[in-house]
Structure 1
Amino acid sequence: MELKTPEDTRDLGRALAPLLRAGDLIVLVGPLGAGKTQLTQGIGAGLGVRGAVTSPTFVISRIHPGGRLPLVHADAYRLGDVAEVDDLDLDADVDAAVTVVEWGAGLVEQLTDAYLEIRLDRDDETEVRTATLVPHGGDWPERLLALN
């Protein structure tokens, strides 16, 4: 799907929020500037979490309480391997919250049996973003039908 503005990217996150359940893992894939944090901001707004959702690049993981479900927002960019992800203890929070991991491909999929991968890309000339939602297991394909 095409996301022409940063607000469109946040709107996608807000549209996803009602579909989310405790224990859901969302893995965000895309280059710098593709809108991973903006998408997570929309998810946080849709869940009604307290406080601003900002990039966790330097703190690696933030927990946003409140709302319908808490949001765990992690950034695996600086992590080198699965062992470092294990040190974050994300699996302790995954059952009770929605967990969104930026740069997590190849590192966090083992946290759950099913997850949603969202691939974001951005055209450098037009700054238009595209989002591709890729369900991996579980009932993600059925849930995503609600977005159409």
Structure 2
Amino acid sequence: MLTIKVDSAEQTQAIAKKMGPLLQARDILLLDGDLGAGKTTFTKGLAEGLGIHRNIKSPTFTIIREYQQGRLPLYHMDVYRLEETGGDDLGLEEYFEGDGVSVVEWSQFVGDEIPADKLIIHLKKDDHNDDVRYLEFEPHGKRYEELVSELEKQL
């Protein structure tokens, strides 16, 4: 596990931007954190690192936003609203097995749909300083262990 302390939204985005070029089709990133922890901020940096220069918004009400303009498509999912129903009818596996990168916020609500191999990124707020976050990269599977290792070299 790799843990990085950041002091601003800009630092969060910069780290995610460095990850963008390392990503491959079918990569699955789960963003885990409280409201306001920086999940969408992280996704904005990731999109920039993939060469997507559109405004990235949280897909809270649409559930899934697709961005096709970059090196790889980005599938940004916010499944918070599926807490009661789950994601059985969404066809998430089509995204996970597709040609892009899947970023899932609040993935615990569709846990049964998520493949075993994935990268969980925990975004944790500091108890004493509201600007400070800790980004914890928890790889599951060889591909994601290599990805985290490559990211660590870039930082």
TM-score exceeds 0.5? yes
Please state whether the residue corresponding to 1:15 is helix, strand or coil.
Answer: helix
2:151 equivalent to 1:144: no
Question: Percent identical across equivalent pairs?
Answer: 39
- Rounded to whole Å, the distance in 1 between the matches of 2:126 and 2:43 is 20
Contact 2:79 2:109 in 1 (8 A): no
TM-score (normalised: structure 2) = 0.87
- Rounded to whole Å, the distance in 1 between the matches of 2:63 and 2:113 is 18
The unaligned stretches of length 5 or more in structure 2 are none
Q: Give the drift of 1:111.
A: 3.7
2:118 equivalent to 1:131: no
- Name the amino acid aligned to 1:140: Y
Q: Give the drift of 1:61.
A: 0.7
TM-score (normalised: structure 1) = 0.91
Q: Give the drift of 1:137.
A: 1.1
Find the counterpart in structure 2 of residue 21 from structure 1.
Answer: 24
- Name the amino acid aligned to 1:138: K
2:73 equivalent to 1:73: no
- Give the root-mean-square deviation of aligned CA atoms: 1.7
Q: Give the drift of 1:130.
A: 0.6
Greater displacement, 132-141 / 34-43: 132-141
- Rounded to whole Å, the distance in 1 between the matches of 2:63 and 2:20 is 22
Find the counterpart in structure 2 of residue 58 from structure 1.
Answer: 61
Please state whether the residue corresponding to 1:18 is helix, strand or coil.
Answer: helix
Flag the 1:25–1:109 CA change in 2: closer, same or farther, 3 A. Answer: farther
Please state whether the residue corresponding to 1:58 is helix, strand or coil.
Answer: coil
- Rounded to whole Å, the distance in 2 between the matches of 1:108 and 1:67 is 28
Please state whether the residue corresponding to 1:72 is helix, strand or coil.
Answer: strand
Contact 1:3 1:131 in 2 (8 A): yes
For residue 91 of structure 2, the aligned residue among 69, 72, 89 is 89
The unaligned stretches of length 5 or more in structure 1 are none
